[in-house]
Amino acid sequence: MTEAEQAAGAAVGGRDGETAAVERRGRRIPMLLAVTAFVYLLDLGSKLLVVAKLEDHDPVELIGTWLRLRVLRNRGAAFGFGEAMTIVFTLVAAAVIVVVIRLARRLYSAPWAIALGLLLGGALGNLTDRVFRSPGGLQGGVVDFIAAESFAVFNIADSAICCGCVLLVFLSFRGVEADGTVRKD
């Protein structure tokens, strides 16, 4: 780090030059919101289309029996686990949303914005189903429709949540923080 960078870092509350440079790039909240909106709208639109066109019909084979579209209403978590705990999963989704919103205040990293946008969009997508789909009262069944052979039936929101979690784990192993700094352990 050059002396000019150190001086610039010291001028910004005594932080090092790397942190000051990250903050000058600006927060990544617009990126977080764009990814969230994209995932949410893609999930919502796909669920509306699938329910309108495929519910109460035979599965549609996309790649033989390996990948099909098959509509299920899942009141539990992934793999149909915990169907009697629908309200708990609803509260967990709401908690994820609150945590992501709190993290957004110190979000200067583009990869973190993408990961958190995937999580937030997915959580909002499934929470929308829990609130507005039958039977309602925070116990609605999530619309799942992507059926991979010998695997679970899932949706776009589930995929986004999984991808966001994988990206967050990767970023954590690499030492990338939400504020854009990199730990040097």
Q: Which residues are catalytic?
A: 144, 158
Residue 177 amino acid letter: E
Concatenated DSSP letters for the chain?
--HHHHHHHHHTTT--HHHHHHHHH---HHHHHHHHHHHHHHHHHHHHHHHHHHTTSPPEEEETTTEEEEEEEE-SSGGGTTGGGHHHHHHHHHHHHHHHHHHGGG---HHHHHHHHHHHHHHHHHHHHHHHSTT-TT-PPEEEEEEETTS-EE-HHHHHHHHHHHHHHHHHHHTB-TTS-B---
What is d(CA 55, CA 36) in angstroms, rounded to the nearest whole number? 27
